[in-house]
Structure 1
Amino acid sequence: MKIFFSRKNASIIAGLVTLSLLGACGNNEDTAPEETTTAWDEIQEKGSLTVATSGTLFPTSYREEGSDELTGFEVEVAREIGERLELEVEFTELGFDEMLTSVQTGQVDIAANDIEITEDRKDNFLFSTPFKYSYGTAIVRSDDLSGIETLEDLKGKKAAGASTSVYMETAREYGAEEVVYDNATNETYLRDVAIGRTDVILNDYYLQTLAIAAFPELDITIHPNLKYSPSEVGVVMNEDNTELAENVDRVIEEMLEDGTIAEISAEFFNGADVTEKVEIEE
């Protein structure tokens, strides 16, 4: 059987083919994937950076007596980061353990509170380029060093601090009984050691030195022989926020290069430059 096509039929078929092709093109445009908005895009859009800090850790994050203004070494470093990224900085005051949870859940962009960089934490978070180097020490009672000569003597002693800090991990490792506070001030920690409610505070050398100097009336001291765990500190970010981390690293490296962080360090650590790496014999 033969089928004959007139010019009219041919025109109709050609029109249908054209419509079909145009329709296909239109469908492709409709189904094209939308651009993904990143956390860094959202931060830029709102024009601000949310930073978790304690507000109770002298001289990292605190308020001077009689002032409502939050300040401290890492508070001012965070402010400078924001300025160089052309972002306002909004601080949220949280306990140490809450900070890391808030970073993980995206409630804050950054945590800045003398948080040590460890391999375990790097499995779950992004850390900035380090800008503070130190080591661990122990605050004990002056008269008997709280009965502690070596780290092995921590067994059975009451060690005060944040549950998830690397220093409390050290205390647990050596058998100490942990005493955890809910975002308490330095004075509370120190007085409890002095009166025997607790025995020891394991923490960073620079923080411990300044804390003791702030309360000379208390019968406490830094243990003369305990030096351990060289440490590096940076700000903490969600592991998925790679663009934020890249931009934070860029400005921190600028600040290290031009001496800005060293100047901030001198202001809060009695002239010491915490950006310099330290060597200790373990």
Structure 2
Amino acid sequence: MKKTFKNILAVAGVLGLTFALNAVKPQHISAAEKLPAQTTKELKEKGTLTIGLEGTFAPYSYRKDGKLTGFEVELGKQLAKEMGLKAKFVPTKWDGLIAGLDTGKYDVVLNNVTITKERKEKYLFSKPYIYSHFALITKKGTDLTKLKQIKGQKIAAGTGTDNALIAKKYKATVVPSSDFTTSLDLIKQDRAKGAINSMSAWYAYKKDHSTKDLKATDVSKEEDPAKIGALMSKKDKALQKSVDKALDKLRKDGKLKEISKKYVGGDITK
């Protein structure tokens, strides 16, 4: 009888513990939190990390001899490798690039996208992998060297880019530009007084082009360097963790710095 009573207590204890666990579990694991694990599973099943980028913006992603190359192209390959995946690139124009995440066109965007409060409300970012210094590019001989001087001036910048936001912040008239080379052409043709872009883009351009009539001024004293990260859908929290882990590994191994020096000529990763 005593043994039977102990068995009854043991069964009751197990049932009570099971009930308690089941009662607590729904409070801590929501449907939204379960979704990222499914996303990671899908990535592993297809074996690829699909990456959206422009492919027209040196030194980040551009074509050389018809082949896609650049800082973010090599970074994408290294990230995928660390995650046990193969990188697949989908070149897309800037005006539809970020929206491609919403339609599932790719898993992540690597395209010199600045981490902003507004974007973080709609998307997830990885840890920064670039700290981009803003540059004010003008013709040589001009006294335009500070952002506070561009008020009312025509300044070339890509529509919807952070460069355009900076130009608007300092009350310049934005002249839409499709890419870096076009921005410089607008200056040379006197259709724009200057352009706002990154110092790294300027350095990369100088490697293969003459800039004897132009100059670039680092305006970091007026605007802090932009923090650049990989952009992902809000639902992909597991992917965000995987990308961050891979970035940490690449930074620790010195690979991130190595890629930067290869394509930019200096370390822009800190």
**What is the TM-score of this pair, normalised by structure 2?**
0.81
* 1:5-154 superposed matches below 5 A: 38-64=38-64, 67-145=65-143, 148-154=144-150
Given candidates 195, 198, 201, the residue that maps to 1:204 is 198
CA contact (8 A) 1:76 1:264 kept: yes
- Whether contact under 8 Å (1:112, 1:234) holds in the other structure is yes
Partner Cα distance (2:211, 2:146) in 1:
26
Question: What is the CA deviation profile of residues 77-103 of structure 1, one whole-angstrom value per residue up to 9, with x for unaligned ones?
Answer: 001011111212111111223111112
The reply on whether 1:230 has 2:225 as its aligned counterpart is yes
Match of 2:238 among 239, 243, 251: 243
Cα distance in 2 for residues equivalent to 1:224 and 1:127? 26
Distance 1:169 1:97, change over 3 A: same
Kindly name which structure, 1 or 2, has the bigger radius of gyration based on alpha carbons: 1
Could you say if the C-alpha distance between residues 253 and 181 of structure 1 is closer, same or farther in structure 2, counting changes exceeding 3 Å?
same
Q: Can you list the C-alpha shifts for 1:20-55, whole angstroms capped at 9, x where unaligned?
A: xxxxxxxxxxxxxxx967322222211111111111
Structure 2: distance between partners of 1:190 and 1:202: 10
Q: Percent of aligned pairs with the same residue?
A: 28
The structural deviation recorded for 1:165 is 1.6
Q: Which moved more, 1:240-249 or 1:202-211?
A: 202-211
Report the CA distance between 1:204 and its aligned residue.
1.8
Specify whether residues 137 and 166 from structure 1 end up closer, same or farther in structure 2 by C-alpha distance, changes over 3 A only. Answer: same
Separation in 2 of the partners of 1:42 and 1:132? 28
Q: Secondary structure at the match of 1:133?
A: strand
Calculate the aligned-residue CA RMSD, in Å: 2.1
Number of the residue aligned with 1:8 = none
3-state SS, counterpart of residue 248 of structure 2: helix
Structure 2 residue runs of 5 or longer lacking an equivalent are 1-33
Number of positions where the alignment pairs a residue of Structure 1 with one of Structure 2? 236
Aligned-partner Cα distance in 1 for 2:203–2:66: 24
SS of 1:216 mapped into structure 2: coil
1:253 aligns with 2:251: no
Which amino acid counterpart does residue 268 of structure 1 have in structure 2?
Answer: Y
Contact 1:111 1:235 survives alignment (8 Å)? yes
Q: 2:167: which partner in 1? A: 171
| 1-structure distance, mates of 2:97, 2:161 | 12
Q: Is the alpha carbon distance of 1:226 and 1:237 closer, same or farther for their aligned partners in structure 2, counting shifts above 3 Å?
A: closer
Change over 3 Å in CA distance of 1:223–1:244 after alignment to 2: same
Q: 2:98 aligns to what SS in structure 1?
A: helix
User: Residues 73, 163 of structure 1: CA spacing in aligned structure 2 closer, same or farther, 3 A cutoff?
Assistant: same
Q: Secondary structure at the match of 1:198?
A: coil
Secondary structure, in 3 states, of the residue corresponding to 2:239?
helix
CA distance in 1: counterparts of 2:121 and 2:47, whole angstroms: 29
Residues 97 and 162, structure 1, Cα contact 8 Å, conserved in 2:
no
Unmatched segments (≥5 aa) in structure 1: 1-34, 277-282
8 Å contact kept, 1:150–1:226: no
Name the TM-score, length of structure 1 as normaliser.
Answer: 0.77
